[in-house]
Amino acid sequence: MKHDLELKLQAWLDAELSAAEAEQMRRRAASDPEAASLLAELQNTKSALLQNEPAVTVPEARPFYWSKIQRQIQRQASVRPSPAPPWAERLRRWLAPLAGAAALAAVLLLALNPFAPPVVNQVSDMAEGFQTRTFRDDSAGINFVVFHQTPQPSDAPAGAAPAHTRNDGSSFVIEVE
């Protein structure tokens, strides 16, 4: 027997079918011995359950009984205290966002580096007859100050021999031969 037919027989027995379907099931039970046998078995089971089910008497009237249950549920929901978090947990709740903010601030400070000293590379004074030029090599991070003496007419008398630098490790002397 098909499972659908079994279910329909059971539904007929429980008076859940429409009149047309009930009539169809009645004819089927009359013509099909297997269906009739199942129907009889289901009827027996149902009557056995009905006869042996213990009767439970609700102490109060039904509406009052259900409202009592509802009040009990509401009371438990309102009375149940939320467990107090331990101090470590409360501390963690405060510290976690603070630590995050501190880390973010540290990253920003490192990136912007507002405490880095300003780069200074300036000449404030020089002797007469000198020229200077300053520049910075950013890749090497070095400040350069280049200076040299401007040639003076009196420094190079006509016929003077070329100058040479002598350096012996302890002094730098410009010699004129």
Partner 1 sequence: MSRHAHQTSRRRFPALFLLALGLAARAALGADLKLEAQMIWGANDPPARVKYNLADPALAAALRHHFKWTNYYQLTNLAAVIPLNQSRVVRLSGQCALNIKYLGSSLVAVDNIGQGKPVIKGTNSLPCVFVGTNLDDTAWFIRLRSLDAKK
Q: How many CB atoms lie within 10 A of CB 66?
A: 12
Question: Assign residue 141 a region: left if phi > 0, alpha if psi is -120 to 50, beta otherwise?
Answer: left
Cβ proximity to partner 1, 18 vs 152, nearer residue: 152
Q: Which stretch binds partner 1 (CB under 8 A): 5-13, 44-52, 69-77, 156-164?
A: 156-164
What is the C-alpha separation between 116 and 118, in angstroms, rounded?
Answer: 6
Task: Name which position in 54, 117, 153, 159 contacts partner 1 (CB under 8 A).
Answer: 117
Task: Name which position in 54, 119, 154, 157 contacts partner 1 (CB under 8 A).
Answer: 119
> Residue 76 class from Cβ within 10 Å (0-12 exposed, 13-18 middle, 19+ buried)?
exposed
Q: How many residues bind partner 1 (CB under 8 A)?
A: 37
Cβ proximity to partner 1, 26 vs 136, nearer residue: 136
Task: Name which position in 54, 118, 157, 159 contacts partner 1 (CB under 8 A).
Answer: 118
Please report how the helices 33-52 and 19-31 are oriented relative to each other, as an axis angle in degrees rounded to 10.
Answer: 110
Q: Which residue has the tokens 């169809």?
A: 24
Q: List the structure tokens of 14.
A: 């429980």
What is the C-alpha separation between 85 and 94, in angstroms, rounded?
Answer: 13
The reply on whether position 173 binds partner 1 by CB under 8 A is yes
Cβ 107 to partner 1, closest distance in Å?
Answer: 20
SS3 142: strand
The pattern of x and - marking residues 129 through 148 that bind partner 1 according to CB under 8 A reads -x-x-xx-x--xxxxxxxxx
Cβ 151 to partner 1, closest distance in Å?
Answer: 10
Beta-strand relationship, 130-137 and 172-176: unpaired
The reply on whether position 126 binds partner 1 by CB under 8 A is yes
The reply on whether position 109 binds partner 1 by CB under 8 A is no
Counting every residue, how long is the chain? 177
SS3 133: strand
Cβ 165 to partner 1, closest distance in Å?
Answer: 4
Residues near partner 1, by CB under 8 A:
115, 117-127, 130, 132, 134-135, 137, 140-148, 162-165, 167, 169-174
